[in-house]
Structure formats: C-alpha cells, structure tokens
Chain A
Amino acid sequence: MADLLPDVDTLIAQLADALRPSLTADTALVGIHSGGVWIAERLHRLLQIATPLGMLSITHYRDDFSRIGLHPQVKPSRLPFEVEGRNVIVVDDVFYTGRTMRAAMHELFDYGRPASIRLAVLVDRGGHELPIRPDFTGINLDIPPGQNLTLSRSDDGSLIMSLA
C-alpha cells in the first residue's frame, strides 16, 4: 500500500499552485496542529504570504469532549493577526469526517468575524460525516475506516505520509 501514497513535497507544490490565484494582500494561512501547521509553514514560504502564520489547536472545540475528555495539549492556538474582516485559508493534512474543520471554524469565529474561510488539505480520504468539503485538495484517496492515514515529520524536516 505504501507505494500508493503520494510524495508529500509534490502535493504541497501542487496545492501552492492551486492556491496562488485566490490570494489577496491580506490573506492569512492558519494551520491545524500538528500536520496542518507543517504544511502551512511550507505553503507560507512558497506563496510568500505577508501575514504571519497562524496555528489552531482546536482542543477546546472538539465535539468528543464528553466521551473522552481533554486531549493532551500539543501546542496552544496562536493567531498573530486580526481575524476580523480577513480572508483566511485553513490548512490541514488529512480531511476525514469534517469534524476537525467544524471545530476549527468555531474556534476561528471566537477570535473574530473573518471575511471568508477556505480549506486546503493535502489528502481527502473520504468518509465525510458533515456538509463540509475542502476547497483545495492535494489528492483524493479512498481509505477504509479502521485505517489511519498520518503525516509525520522526520528529524531532517522532511514530511512523510504513512498508513497504519
């Protein structure tokens, strides 16, 4: 199965090309921890975005709190720009049920009212559970439920996609 997984760097370059036409002067990129942040960092450089990079942890906005409580903190959210009236592009590694994006939108709106929100993801693996879709997708892969598709970063900074 590993040979079916695409090269991450190639996908990121493709995403950057897809996003470039939509950018405005004040567009902000916001990565969702942790994979989304790694990808957003690359995109931020490739697209030479002026606004500083934002990060969302969505820990406090997940919908499974009553069942499994607080997740251990990865990193806190940080949005070093004014959300009010801004065009925001949220970046994540894998789009699955859509619940992560719902939580991300909820959290974003608690910071202010953006002019627009678009979603860019590396992989859409199918299995959508909510009426939310990415606007920009690197690749569509049909992964059966029960299998985990994850992005990891090695010590030298390279990003690898794996299936478990």
Chain B
Amino acid sequence: MNRQLTSDGQLKHLLTLDGLPRATLIKILDTAESFMDVGEREVKKVPLLRGKSIFNLFFEPSTRTRTTFEIAAKRLSADVVNLNIATSSQSKGETILDTVDNLAAMHADMFVVRHAQSGAAHLIAGHVAPHISVVNAGDGRHAHPTQGLLDMFTIRRYKGAFHNLTVAIVGDVLHSRVARSQIHALTTLGVPEVRVIAPKTLLPTGVEQMGVKVFHDMQTGLRDCDVIIMLRLQNERMKGARLPSAQEYFKFYGLTLDKLALAKPDAIVMHPGPMNRGVEIDSEVADGAQSVILPQVTYGIAVRMAVMALLAGGAAA
C-alpha cells in the first residue's frame, strides 16, 4: 500500500484507498473540484498532460470505466491508447509483465489498469520504471480507488462534510472492490458510522475489522441514514449457493421507496453502476428525487482528471 506514495508524501501511483492519508484524499477531491467547469466550456480541455501517453490496459472488459478514463485523459490533452488485452496478447499467452514491458517501451507515461485478479495493479506498479505511474481501475475484489473517490466527491457535493454522516452500503460487499474502496475512504475521511447491510453469505469474513457496523436487517440498517450506496448484484451469486433468487433478494435487500423512507428525508441514494433495476434497486428510487446516480457519472470524469494530473505532475507545491 505504501508503494503509492513517494518518500515526501507525493502520490506516485493510485492503487488503493487503504492507507492513503486523509490529506491526500482531500487534495484529490479539491483538485477534482477545480476541473468541474472544464466540461462546461467550449474547449473542454486543459493542456496539463499534453505530450503524455496514457495507456488504458483493460484485461477485464469495461466500456463505462474505460470511456470515462479516456475522456478524462483527453480533457487533460494527453494522448490515449486503449488496449483490450482480453482479445490480443493475453490470449497468446503473454504474461502481464511482458505486455507492460512492451508498452513501456512505447514511451508510456501512465498505465490505467483493470484486471480480474486482486493485486494486479500492485504487481505492475512494482515492476515499472520510476517515471511511470499506475492507476488501478479495478483489480478483482480488492479495490476501485477512483470509484471510491468519485463517490466521496458526490457525498461532499450533496452533504458538505463527512464528520456527521451515517452511511450505509447495501449488497454484495464480499465480491465488491467498490465497497472496499468506499469503506476505506469513508473511515479515513472521518465518517462516524459506516454500515454494511447484506445477508451473511455476501459479507467478507471479519469485515467489522475494516471499521464498519454489520446489519443483516435492511429496515434497521437504513434507519436515519444520510447516504445509501446500493451495490450491484451479479447473476452468478445465485449459482454459487449464496442466494436463492433475485426475487427474494429484492424483497429483503432491494431499495424501494418505503424502505428509503426509513432513512433521513434528505438522504441521497447512490449506485456505482451499472444498475440492475428490480434486483437491488427499484426504478422509482433510481429515477426519484433522492437519487444522485446520474451526477455521479459526471463527477467521475473530474475525479479521474484530478488523479491523473496529480500523478503526472512533478513535486507538487
């Protein structure tokens, strides 16, 4: 975890939010704030990363995340190269590190990496030359730091501060890298109560040690919450003997208007996407007044711009 920071505390890689100092998280959020207006101008670009090459290394396919990283990089005037490794060299048996070495030889300055295995971004960060930065765009179940950051940005935008909030994360925490990143960020930023709400089969062993309060009953867990984060439930969970059906899940763990009413009246509803309507969240809620799901996407671009700008810059003032 500490290979992310240089000896004088500058951000060198972004691999996980676990262990990042509060000041670093705030700096990223503040920097993201400064990029918010770029998307509203005629020329949606700033020249900060002009001449830099950013390689999107997606070993696990993703259109949404890859697109936002691409937009963010281009708004910084960087050159972007997209590599969907699933279809090319990986299938020919080339190892991750060989792929990375070949690309580094093409003058890459930054790798944005998504991989199905936990620890993949760490492996790459430990291997690349000192001038190359690595951004983890999601590794297995472990971390999705930019998503965690944009979720914090969203919370700050709507709630102002972190120190007086009750935040609930609902759903498949066990398999979720997003949830882990959110938990690290929320606890570091000083949110006094972070709750996870899920059946036992969807919670990781010892999750309390990450600083959360466990609830199996959604009614109790949602009471008086300021922020509700719904996690996506994947179909595979039914096959792995963790859940019987989407219907039963929705009944007990899906967010409907009447369950939402248990939270504070001004509670916001978030979802990292993509949503499974009718499985973890009812359409009425997803499209309702308290949902901030669409704005989350815009914030994602500013946050990713901030991360890339902070990584690419020299020793920041």
Residues of A at the B interface (CB closer than 8 Å) are 57, 59-61, 65-73, 76-77, 84, 106-107, 109-112
B314: CB under 8 A from chain A?
A: yes
| Given A65-B48, A68-B313, A68-B315: A73 and B42 interface contact (C-beta under 8 Å) | no
Q: What are 27 A-B contacts defined by CB distance under 8 Å?
A: A59-B34, A60-B47, A61-B46, A65-B313, A66-B314, A68-B314, A68-B315, A68-B316, A68-B317, A69-B310, A69-B315, A69-B316, A70-B309, A70-B310, A70-B313, A70-B316, A70-B317, A71-B316, A73-B30, A73-B34, A76-B34, A106-B47, A107-B46, A109-B43, A110-B43, A111-B41, A111-B43
* A84 and B42 alpha carbons, distance in the complex (Å): 10
* A77 and B316 alpha carbons, distance in the complex (Å): 20
Determine the chain B residues whose CB is within 8 A of the CB of A73 once the complex forms: 30-31, 33-34
For B34, B41, B46, B309, the residue with the greatest tally of chain A CB atoms inside 10 Å of its CB is: B34
* A71 and B34 alpha carbons, distance in the complex (Å): 11
Q: In this complex, what residue of A is CB-closest to B47?
A: A61
> Which 10 pairs of residues, A with B, have the shortest CB-CB distance?
A69-B313, A69-B316, A60-B46, A110-B43, A67-B314, A69-B314, A73-B34, A71-B317, A68-B314, A70-B313
* A69 and B316 alpha carbons, distance in the complex (Å): 4
Tell me if A's interface is mostly helix, strand, loop or mixed.
loop
B258: CB under 8 A from chain A?
A: no
* A61 and B76 alpha carbons, distance in the complex (Å): 10
Shortest CB-to-CB span from A46 to chain B, Å, is: 29
| Given A60-B47, A109-B43: A77 and B37 interface contact (C-beta under 8 Å) | yes
Q: In this complex, what residue of B is CB-closest to A71?
A: B317
* A110 and B313 alpha carbons, distance in the complex (Å): 21
* A61 and B45 alpha carbons, distance in the complex (Å): 10
Asked whether, in the complex, the Cβ of A76 is within 8 Å of the Cβ of B31, the reply is no
Asked whether, in the complex, the Cβ of B317 is within 8 Å of the Cβ of A60, the reply is no
Determine the chain B residues whose CB is within 8 A of the CB of A70 once the complex forms: 31, 48, 309-310, 313, 316-317
* A93 and B31 alpha carbons, distance in the complex (Å): 25
* A94 and B202 alpha carbons, distance in the complex (Å): 61
Shortest CB-to-CB span from A62 to chain B, Å, is: 9
Q: In this complex, what residue of A is CB-closest to B50?
A: A65
Shortest CB-to-CB span from A151 to chain B, Å, is: 20
* A70 and B35 alpha carbons, distance in the complex (Å): 12
* A65 and B312 alpha carbons, distance in the complex (Å): 9
For A68, A77, A110, the residue with the greatest tally of chain B CB atoms inside 10 Å of its CB is: A110
Given contacts A60-B46, A76-B33, A76-B37, 15 further A-B contacts (CB under 8 A): A57-B34, A61-B46, A65-B314, A66-B314, A68-B314, A68-B315, A69-B314, A69-B315, A69-B316, A69-B317, A73-B30, A73-B31, A73-B34, A110-B41, A110-B43
* A111 and B310 alpha carbons, distance in the complex (Å): 24
Asked whether, in the complex, the Cβ of A111 is within 8 Å of the Cβ of B313, the reply is no
Asked whether, in the complex, the Cβ of B43 is within 8 Å of the Cβ of A60, the reply is no
* A106 and B77 alpha carbons, distance in the complex (Å): 13
Asked whether, in the complex, the Cβ of B45 is within 8 Å of the Cβ of A110, the reply is yes
* A66 and B49 alpha carbons, distance in the complex (Å): 9
Shortest CB-to-CB span from B168 to chain A, Å, is: 32
Shortest CB-to-CB span from B52 to chain A, Å, is: 9
* A59 and B48 alpha carbons, distance in the complex (Å): 9
Determine the chain A residues whose CB is within 8 A of the CB of B310 once the complex forms: 69-70
Asked whether, in the complex, the Cβ of B42 is within 8 Å of the Cβ of A111, the reply is yes
Residues facing A in B298-317 (CB within 8 A) are: 309-310, 312-317
Q: In this complex, what residue of A is CB-closest to B76?
A: A60
| Given A73-B31, A76-B37: A66 and B313 interface contact (C-beta under 8 Å) | yes
